[in-house]
Amino acid sequence: MNRMIFGALAAALLMTGCGQRQPPPPPAPPRFVAQPGELLHFVPVAEKLVALSFDDGPNDPCTRQLLAICAKENVHVTFMLIGLNAAKHPDIVQEIVAGGHAIGNHSLSHPRFDRSTPAVIREEITQADAIFEKLTGQKPLLMRPPFGLYGQDYFEICRDTGHVIGGWSAAASDWNPHTPEEIAGALLDQLAPGAIFLLHDGKETNDGPHRVASVQAVARLIPQVKARGYRFVTIPELLAAAVAPPAAYANGVQLLGVQWPERVASSKEVAVRMHWQLPAALVRSSAHVWLTLRGAGGPFTFDCGLPHGGDVWKETETLKVPPPAFQPGSYTMDIALTPGDRNRNHLPCAGAWAPGHKAAAVPQPLVVTPNLTVEASP
C-alpha cells in the first residue's frame, strides 16, 4: 500500500512539474496605483489617453492664452503652479479651476531642491499648499519638484505631506529656443497611451511672454493628437483610468508600456522607448534588460540597462537599435530581465504580456517596409 501511495505521489509531482524546481512566477500585477512619495511619470491605460501638463504658472499672459486654446478644443490639462505666482494671480487660478483643469504643486518659489535642505524643501511644499488651499479649497495631489530635481529626503517629505511625485515621460525642451513646429513635433514623436507631456506656461517667478512658442505649439499639437484617436485628460484622471501594468518581474520591476516609433522615414535606427516603474530599494545595476526581435532575417537580440533615475524624467529608457540587417517584414519583440549584467537566467515574469513566465511579449508588431520606413502596427 505504501508503495502505491508513493508511486501515485511521484507521478502527481511529475505531472504538475514540481520536480523541475522552477522559481514560481510573480503574481499578476494589480491595477497600477501611485502612492504619496512615489513617482508618477507614465500610466498603463487601456484607452488612448494622454495628459498635457504645464510648469511655472500662473503666468500673465501665457496661461490665459492656453486656457483659451483648451476651452476652444474642449480639453482638460494639468497646471503645476508656483505658489508665489498663484498668490500674485489668484484670478487666473480661479479660471484654471473653473475650466475643469487640475492643479499641482510646483513649490513656493522654484528653488533647486538638490541644493536645498530638507527643512527648506518641506517649507516650499507646505507653504505653496497653503496658498492653493486658500484659493481653491483643496490641496493638490501632485508635487513636481522645480527643474525636475530631487533633494535630500524629498521622497520621505512627499510621503509625509501626502503628495504623489508628478513626473513626465515626454518633453520638448521648450525652456530652450525652439519653434512651435519643433516643440509640437518632439511631443508627437513621444506620443503613447498613458504618456504625460511636459511644457511650460511661465518662466519661474517671472511674468511676461516667455512661452509664446509653447502656446503656439499647443495650438498645433492638440488637433494632431486628436486626429490620431487620443483624448486629453488631467494627470489625476489619467491615474484614475489606470489598468494593471503589462508585466511584472520577480524582482519587483514593473513594465508600464513600450512605444515603437510610429513612423521614421529612411530610418537608420529604431528607437524603442520602455517605461518602467522600479522599487525604491532596487539596485538598478542588479538587473539587465534583453530585447529579442523575431521576424524576417531574425531573431535579433539587444541588451541595455534599466533607467538610471536620479530625477523625474530619467525613468524612461530609450534603446536605439541599428537595423542594417533588418529585412522588410513584421517583427515581434520580447522583453526579459536577468539578474546581474550578462546572466541569461531570465527572471520570472507575469502579466498580460508575459507568456511562459519568461518575458513580456509586446503585442503590437514592428513593421519594416522595403524603403526601411519603420511603422508601428495599429
Residue 312 CA to residue 40 CA, distance in Å, equals 9
Q: Where are the alpha helices (DSSP H) in the chain?
A: 2-16, 62-73, 83-88, 90-98, 118-136, 154-161, 180-188, 212-227, 235-240
DSSP state of 110: -
- Cell numbers for 120, please give them: 527648506
Residue located via cell numbers 490641496: 139
Name the strands in the sheet holding 254-259, side by side, starting at the edge strand that comes first in the sequence.
316-321, 270-277, 254-259, 247-249, 349-350
Enter the C-alpha cell of residue 293.
Answer: 526581435
Strands 329-339 and 374-376 turn out to be unpaired
Catalytic one of 55, 56, 129, 201: 55
Q: At what angle do helices 90-98 and 62-73 cross, to 10 degrees?
A: 10
Q: Give the separation between CA 54 and CA 363, rounded to whole angstroms.
A: 32
Q: CA quadruple 113, 115, 118, 124: dihedral positive or negative?
A: negative
Cα–Cα distance, 375 to 378 (Å, whole number): 9
Q: Cell triple for residue 46?
A: 487601456
Are the beta carbons of 232 and 51 closer than 8 angstroms?
yes
210 noted as active-site residue: no
| 200 belongs to the catalytic site | yes
Spatial neighbors of 313 by CB under 8 A, at least 6 apart, are 41, 148, 167, 168, 169, 171, 198
What cell was used for 61?
Answer: 499672459
- Which residues are within 8 A (CB) of 214 and not within 5 positions of it... i.e. 6 or more apart? 54, 62, 174, 180, 183, 199, 200, 201
Considering 200, 288, 346, 357, which one is annotated as catalytic?
Answer: 200
What's the CA gap between 211 and 64, in Å, rounded? 12
Q: Are 350 and 29 in contact (CB under 8 A)?
A: yes
Catalytic center residues = 55, 200
